[in-house]
Amino acid sequence: MDLYSILVTLMVFVGAIVSSLIGWYDAGGSFQARKFIPSFLRGIAGAVAAAIVYQQVPALTGIVGLLTAFFAGMGFDAAGNRLAGGLMSATGNKSPTVSK
């Protein structure tokens, strides 16, 4: 794995963490680790997926590629959060990670 792939992986992870921190700030409550941990895990999953994809298709390079990875991480976390919330509401459970 080259340095650029490591940076892409890190940017996806940081994007997911920033997304979860923005969600926490938007909710306005005190920080609760149990709501943050799923985003952390989605960030790791997104980073691994991005590392695999960027190894196979290195189409984006430089700062554009890193910014794309960052926003992909944010999207990965946001989509995972919405999906988890939708599944929990469909089963009648209240999701601890989705704030409305």
pLDDT by residue for the chain (100 residues), tens digit each?
Answer: 678 778 878 888 888 888 778 877 777 778 778 878 887 888 788 888 877 777 777 666 777 777 777 777 777 777 777 666 666 666 766 545 544 4
Q: Is residue 98 part of a domain?
A: no
Q: Is residue 100 part of a domain?
A: no
Q: Is residue 8 part of a domain?
A: yes
Q: Is residue 78 part of a domain?
A: yes
Range of the domain at 81: 3-90
Q: What is the DSSP string of 6-74?
A: HHHHHHHHHHHHHHHHHHHHHH-S---HHHHHHHHHHHHHHHHHHHHHHHH-----HHHHHHHHHHHHH
Give the count of domains, the chain: 1
The answer to pTM > 0.75 is no
